[in-house]
Amino acid sequence: MTTGRLLVVEDEPSISELISINLRHAGFTVVTAATAEAAREVVDRELPGLVVLDWMLPDRSGIALCRQWRSESRTRDLPVIMLTARAEEADQVQGLEAGADDYLVKPFSPRTLVARVRAVLRRRSPQALDDAVQIGALKLDPSTRRVTCQASGLQTEIRLGPTEFRLLHYLLTHPERVHSRAQLLDRVWGDHVFIEERTVDVHIKRLREALSVADCAGMVETVRGAGYRLAALPQAVAG
């Protein structure tokens, strides 16, 4: 899933353009689709970070498309904001029950849409934002690209390559969970990238080597037969 890449599904060209311009100004990459089928094809190729989805589309309703995405494991967690001219409470409930994360009634302020997009991403994909994140002794700040480790009374800056930085960011925003190699490939490299799972082991090794200068390497744990986990307290490094 590419968190900075958004999909706008809207069949009205003027509305689609207005939404796209404002989202691009907010720093997002935007892909557009005018039909449900075109949207499905975009998502099948590469998962976006979020979908802005119109209720009324020429070939199929946004409600039906949202339900389909929620029913499939690959797209179950795809963030969706529903757009519609329907202002009745019952319609809003229907949209949310279909799986939408938020609901915006037309006409709407572009600034409100951008704020809603950021709010949904913050809830569903905290790694997409520029907020600093800290677990135990490790702190990562996406806005400055700095990683520091506070250990033994000393704060050490850790230098990471871009892939190790993304890998650590993901682990920090999902601590104490066990992540398989396939899951890490999907979330860090992107589900459209086809590389061997052992590539993850190589980058985990590099990440640990970088963290070892501050005695934080043990925070990245190997769960044998399952994958990797980031723990708040350093443990003895295994595997």
Examine the domain organization and report whether 93 and 153 are in the same domain. no
Total structural domains within the chain: 2
What is the residue range of 168's domain?
133-230
Q: Is residue 239 part of a domain?
A: no
Which value, to the nearest 10 degrees, does the dihedral of the CA atoms of residues 156, 160, 165, 168 take? Answer: -50
pLDDT tens readout for residues 202-212: 999 999 999 98
Examine the domain organization and report whether 6 and 124 are in the same domain. yes
Q: Is residue 213 part of a domain?
A: yes
**pTM score, whole prediction:** 0.56
Examine the domain organization and report whether 205 and 152 are in the same domain. yes
Q: Which of these, 14, 16, 64, lies nearest to 36 by C-alpha position?
A: 64
pLDDT tens readout for residues 121-180: 877 655 555 678 888 888 998 878 899 988 767 888 999 988 899 899 889 888 888 888
Examine the domain organization and report whether 6 and 122 are in the same domain. yes
Of 76, 99, 128, the residue at which a domain comes to its end is 128
CATH number of the domain to which 68 belongs: 3.40.50.2300
Examine the domain organization and report whether 174 and 193 are in the same domain. yes
Burial of 158 (0-12, 13-18, 19+ CB in 10 A): buried
pLDDT of residue 129: 58
CATH number of the domain to which 187 belongs: 1.10.10.10
Q: Is residue 235 part of a domain?
A: no
215 Cβ contact list (under 8 Å, min separation 6) = 149, 151, 152, 234
Average pLDDT over residues 88-93: 72
